[in-house]
Amino acid sequence: MPKKDSRIFGLDCIRALAICLVLQSHCSLLLFPEMSNTLLDGLRLMGTVGVDLFFVLSGYLIGGILIKTLNDNKHLKWSDLFRFWKRRWLRTLPNYYLILIINIVIALLLDTTLPKNLGSYLFFLQNFTVGHPDFFTEAWSLSIEEYAYILLPFLLFTAVLLFQNKKRKKVFFVVSLSVIVVLSFFKMDFNFNTVVNNYYDWSSSFRKVVIFRMDSIYLGFLAVFVIKSYALIIKKYKTILFLLGLLIFVALHLSMFIFNIGPDSYLWFYSFLYLQVISISLLFMFPYAIELRGSRYLKSIIEFISTRSYAMYLVNYSLILLNMQLLTDKIGLGIWTKFSALIIFLFLTLTISNFIYLYFEKPIMSYRDKKFPR
């Protein structure tokens, strides 16, 4: 793991904000599972934004690693790509497979029907072209990230090794942009050949499908390219960019609310604009957020949440929330019981995630850094 003095507080803040947005959305589902109003819908929408924030942050970080690898290594080899993949897989796969196994065991103990395509979870294929099954539902975003880590890095290395182009930063930009454009053709097919009835239908059949969402991560690639290429200008106008990103984000959602823009009537908007504009608006805020500073105490809190965020994301919903709902459905919830359930939910999420991080994730990361150093 990175040493304490090598951590970037602003990036930790972004991770912590992302997981907090996801958690508050799930808290609303625990407290008010059957209710729907403007406030609750807004809170739950921010949970989806939290996942988008994870996507663009992943793209920003991975894109930065790839730019550095391509530029600093004059004698680039395929083994460099394999090293990159090994580091990525040791970061993401162990936690994923651990929680998948636990979900399967719990389902068997509760005599819950397992999905017929359970084997596809082993290779992240369960939502490659179709909606994600109603089992271990958090895994939909992991599938998107895993294939994003495979596709574009492979194409970047292929382009550099094939043409031995010295202008590698330019190759990085052109290939990344080209992949985003090509992926848009899948969205065109969806837009013209699919009928959706409401937001949840669209979310299941589009928002959580690999081939439609990898571009969210690749926008992070383009963002880190621009930030590194025009560092002085970006730094000078970081506050303006932050406010512009915030304005775009708020204006987007206000317009959707005022004009009642739903996927059943404006599918083109949800296919080509909505998620892309969210990603871009969030990335506009990055230069300012990255340079945030905090007190020692605040840094400790943010770092704790940030380092446990991956484990928290994997365990909070399928392992904890859904099983708590099974219990509370039987006994019913009064106001004080709901409050107690909320405290238990947050306590279990933090405790289990902390245990996984300290005794499973962190040792594997230490092994990774020794076995496959950057």
Q: State the Cα–Cα distance between residues 227 and 215, nearest whole angstrom.
A: 18
So what's the pLDDT on residue 71?
87
Q: Count of alpha carbons within 13 Å of 206, Cβ hemisphere only?
A: 30
First and final CA of the chain: distance in angstroms? 12
Q: Using CA atoms of 81, 87, 90, 96 in order, give the dihedral in degrees to the nearest 10.
A: -70
Residue with tokens 């083994």: 79
DSSP state of 119: G
Q: Which residues of 208-240 are buried (b: 16+ CB within 10 A; e: fewer)?
A: bbbbbbbbbbbbbbbbbbebbeeeeebeeebee
Q: State the Cα–Cα distance between residues 209 and 221, nearest whole angstrom.
A: 20
* Residues written for the chain: 374
So what's the pLDDT on residue 332?
59
So what's the pLDDT on residue 1?
41
pLDDT along the chain (374 residues), means of 10: 66 97 94 86 94 98 94 89 97 98 95 93 97 96 98 96 82 96 97 94 97 98 96 97 98 95 96 97 97 94 97 97 79 74 95 98 97 89
Confidence (pTM): 0.95
So what's the pLDDT on residue 298?
96
Q: Domain total for the chain?
A: 1
So what's the pLDDT on residue 335?
75
Contact present, 187 and 212 (Cβ < 8 Å): yes
224: domain range?
A: 4-371
Q: How many Cβ atoms are within 10 Å of 357's Cβ, its own excluded?
A: 21
